[in-house]
Amino acid sequence: MSGRVVTFGEIMLRLSPEGYNRFRKADTYKAYYGGAEANSAETLAELGIESRFVTKLPDNALGDAAISSLQSLGVDTSEVVRGGDRIGIYFLENGTAQRSAQTIYDRAASSMAKAAASDFNWDRIFDGADWFEFSGITPALSDEMAEATLKACQKAKEKGITISCDLNYRSKMWKPQKAREVMGRILPYVDIFIANDKDVLGIYDDHQWKETDPRKRSEEIEVWMTEKFGFKAASIILVVSNGPMDKGTWGTLYRDGQIYRSKSYFAQMVESVGAGDTFAGALIAAIRKGMEPEEALNFATATSALKFSVPGDANIINEAEVRGLMNRSADDWISR
């Protein structure tokens, strides 16, 4: 493949208390820009794949800053639509070994949430593209964005563009029944399906799974979802642990009737945001680089694990660093 990858979603301003401070005591916040599809686009660019991120941002200094953050990592922002009143914001309080991270969203009425499906010219956006990536967060933003995502998939399918979806279910944004209804119209267009187990368990809370072990259930999930929607391939990633502050990832891939399993890769955790988005971007990159399924899966899983060591939403990791982890790692190895 030689064309670019187009990703579509919302990029937000993230504000985090310095270090591991709590919201209630914080008087200084670190600013980042990020969002699922933006994070994937940045991962692709870092791994040498041409990527274009599409969104809508206010025509003000914060919108400019979000665009600059993408451009600094080599992402094409030429099709970002400008307009609306505000950028979406989220607040992240980093967790520690015993305390989970906390997130507060302030994204209602953002430029992207209030965007119209007609804001996006998909014929122009897809010029030179051969891959389209979105996540389940985008259609959850509004009925208009659900329609925009559906239209994008229909146009991509007409043009013979590969379509991938990172399910990314957010219970704070919509209920399972609504998610099943909307995604049920979109997923039949998808070629490559990506998720973590909690995404699928959240949306399909009415389904009785046979397996209880997370790894075996992940394999059951990807086979079930493939049979349900006709994907060419499906991949599930799990977060695994090797001690309180050593987090890692393990993945499985179902393709052509065969299940592939990755090694487990670990890193000392700085923060957990963006590991799944990184996995999606890295898996796309690996496929585009012509890697065989097992190597592609391990490449994506290792890249995702390295995100735990990087602060902020973007995974600033190059291929040499990924290869370094892959070459040194066994299931009990920790990168410190």
pLDDT in tens, 5-29: 999 999 999 999 987 788 888 989 9
Q: What is the pLDDT of residue 111?
A: 98
- Contact (CB, 8 A) for 278 and 237: no
Q: What is the pLDDT of residue 231?
A: 98
Contacts of 100 (CB under 8 A, 6+ apart): none
Of 241 and 139, more confident: 139
Q: What is the pLDDT of residue 335?
A: 47
Check pLDDT > 50 for residue 236: yes
Check pLDDT > 80 for residue 333: no
Least confident of 84-88, 175-179, 309-313: 309-313
Helix or strand or coil: residue 29?
strand
Of 118 and 308, more confident: 118
Q: What is the pLDDT of residue 102?
A: 85
Of 288 and 266, more confident: 288
Share of the chain above pLDDT 70, in %: 96
Q: What is the pLDDT of residue 14?
A: 96
- Contact (CB, 8 A) for 69 and 31: no
Helix and strand totals (H; E) in the chain: 11, 16
Least confident of 28-37, 86-95, 310-319, 324-333: 324-333
Share of the chain above pLDDT 90, in %: 82
> What's the start-to-end Cα distance of the chain, in Å?
35
pLDDT tens-place string over residues 294-303 = 999 999 999 9
- Contact (CB, 8 A) for 301 and 250: yes
Q: What's the mean pLDDT in 311-316?
A: 90
Using CA atoms, how far apart are residues 107 and 146, in angstroms rounded to an integer? 16
Tokens matching residue 102: 């906390």
Check pLDDT > 80 for residue 198: yes
pLDDT tens-place string over residues 64-77 = 999 999 999 999 99
Question: What predicted TM-score, i.e. pTM, was given to this entire model?
Answer: 0.94
Closest CA to 271 of 103, 94, 99: 94
Mean confidence (pLDDT) of the chain:
93
